[in-house]
């Protein structure tokens, strides 16, 4: 069955679907940038997660190896560095998103 052989109701449905898809594409490209608070929450979460993982891993290793508190301190520092690196990457992505939307 060709497009020319479609019943009128199907042609109308096809046209409505096409309009909806076009409107959806337009809404995605013209949407406002994420709010500053959302980016701040993401940066905070990145830092907190890295610290918790680093500290928790160090604490578990300290309990297993009996080296309290040295491994926990080392892994906290590693977690802090990883959190800062992740936050830096997210901030750079935010900056490039803002630059791309502004031009």
pLDDT for 32-76, tens place per residue? 556 778 888 888 999 999 999 999 999 999 999 999 999 999 999
* Domain range list for the chain: 1-31, 33-102
- Decide: 79 and 59 in contact? Cβ < 8 Å: no
Sign of CA dihedral 34, 37, 39, 41: negative
Indicate the pLDDT class of residue 2, thresholds 50, 70 and 90.
low
- Give pTM, 2 decimals: 0.62
């Amino acid at each position: 069955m060709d497009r020319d052989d479609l019943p009128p109701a199907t042609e109308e449905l096809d046209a409505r679907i096409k309009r909806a898809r076009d409107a959806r594409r337009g809404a995605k490209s013209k949407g406002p940038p994420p709010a500053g608070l959302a980016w701040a929450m993401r940066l905070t979460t990145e830092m907190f997660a890295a610290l918790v993982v680093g500290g928790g891993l160090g604490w578990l290793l300290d309990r297993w190896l009996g080296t309290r508190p040295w491994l926990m301190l080392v892994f906290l520092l590693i977690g802090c560095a990883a959190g800062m690196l992740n936050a830096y990457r997210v901030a750079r992505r935010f900056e490039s998103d803002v630059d791309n939307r502004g031009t």
